[in-house]
Amino acid sequence: MYDYQEALRQAEDKVKQARLADVAQKAGAAVTLCGDTTGSLRFFFFNDPVIIHIGESVTMHIAGRQQELPVEEKIILLHYLLQANGAPPAGQWITFRQIPDGHFYDVAFQRRTRTPFLLRFGHNPLLYRKCAEKLGGSHIEGGDVGMLFQALPNIPVQLLLWRGDEELPPESTLLFDAHISHYLPAEDIAVLSGMLIYRLIRVANSESLSLS
């Protein structure tokens, strides 16, 4: 937790020095300025509308709620704002290992994403589809169920599921637009991907979803 708090402190210090109009333009956020380096940024984090107030302190919450976001989410959002350079989509979908430095974090990536996702949804693609729809996912071609999520304004993510059967185990893959390294480093992409998976699992665990 100390490492998270230190990472958050460093990111907050940097964003407080940034020109918010430039940050908003490159990150795809709406901005309300009080000065060059103070004001509010608004954008969607998955399907939640996030508001970040930047002044003497930095606060982050979902619109309509007072509770502050968890530290891990704050770090990801600030890193996104700080690294975003406005690069357009490449139109090429790549795996995590194809991201620069992705192979260094692949073990953690698989532990955060593929393993828990397949345990919960590997034999139940209909459940995955319904949970994905509740998180704002849209249908795409690919796998037995393919869904596209807008994790952040410039970070789309594809999550494909192939259903397991008596002969073959279930399989899945996460795909990213090749421009993603212009917005987050590999370590943060692994964390962000895990956030998507656990959001899906929470929906599956908390909702009584009809599979008919």
User: Phi and psi (nearest 5°) for 54?
Assistant: -125, 115
How far apart (Å, rounded) are the C-alpha atoms in residues 145 and 127? 10
Q: Tell me the mean pLDDT in the region 173-181.
A: 98
How far apart (Å, rounded) are the C-alpha atoms in residues 63 and 133? 21
For residue 5, give both structure tokens. Answer: 């708090």
C-beta of residue 92 within 8 angstroms of C-beta of residue 79: no
C-beta of residue 152 within 8 angstroms of C-beta of residue 80: yes
Instruction: List the domains of the chain with CATH numbers.
Output: 2-83 (no CATH), 93-206 (3.30.310)
How would residue 211 be classed by pLDDT, with cut points 50, 70 and 90?
very low
C-beta of residue 72 within 8 angstroms of C-beta of residue 59: no
pLDDT at 2: 62
**Over the stretch 102-152, which tens digit does the pLDDT of each residue have?**
999 999 999 999 999 999 999 999 999 999 999 999 999 999 999 999 999
C-beta of residue 164 within 8 angstroms of C-beta of residue 170: yes
